[in-house]
Amino acid sequence: MIEDPKVVLVTGAAAGLGHAVALALVARDVQVGICDIDEAGAARTALDCAEIAQDCASVIISDLATPDGPDQAVREMLARFGRIDGMVNNAGYATVEAFLEMTAAAWDRTFEVNVRAVALLCAAAGKAMKVRGGGRIVNVTSPAARMALPNYAHYAASKAAVDSITRTAAIALAPNGIRVNSLAPGMMDTEMQERTERMMAEIEGRSDFEAYLDERTARVPVGVRTNTEEMAKLVLWLLLDAPDYVTAERFNGSGGLDRD
């Protein structure tokens, strides 16, 4: 097992949780590959990282939804840093469709980004980590994986698949000193969260968006939403600080919304 991970690939790092994770890693003297399809957003994350520590972040532009995207991202990481000690599979896609109006296009896009890319990245990074003698992978899942959400079926199903991939990868890679776990964040302060909830409100015929948000927040037992900085702390614990015996686990950071 790599005792002190120093080179980490973070996907979906242009904004949201990925951005927060990248900054938190740099603050821990970790070199970060900022992987995203959004070149401008990734560049902004790199600039924010540079304000914390110089020469600790490198931008990797990759469309992970393409068949070669995951391998390309890992190859680029190895070309830049020569190694990968850890990876955060954070890139995700979400859209909202009424169950009776679901489209094949939405299912395909959701599973290309949220499922196939995660599996292929685990395999590609796993090969590189095996050479190093170990590593750690954190996959971002969701409370939605264990909920019945008729207007959000493709996303919920994709995150259930992430849970399965996490367990499978953990068992497959355990003999190589690689630990694989997942984090299910609650409702966060991200653009993706707001965009998704606006689509949900529209499809449910709700014009009172603020009241709609309040109702959703009220479902959280602790009574408030979380933020990306708080969730980044959990990611870093799994990636850098968790005992080596922890693998194949699903950690909830949802304020009690997601309960085992």
State the amino acid at position 11 in one-letter form: T
| Phi, psi dihedral angles at 259 (to 5 degrees) | -120, 130
Q: Of the residues 93, 152, 155, 212, which is catalytic?
A: 155
Give dist(CA 179, CA 66) in Å, integer. Answer: 26
155 classed as catalytic:
yes
- Going from the C-alpha of 123 to that of each of 111, 143, 167, 195, 230, the distances in angstroms are 17, 24, 13, 31, 28
User: What percent of the residues of the chain are helix, what percent strand, and what percent coil, each to the nearest 5?
Assistant: 50, 15, 35
**Distance of alpha carbon 18 from alpha carbon 105, whole angstroms:** 25
Question: Whole-angstrom Cα distance, residue 28 to residue 244?
Answer: 19
Residues labelled as active-site residues: 155
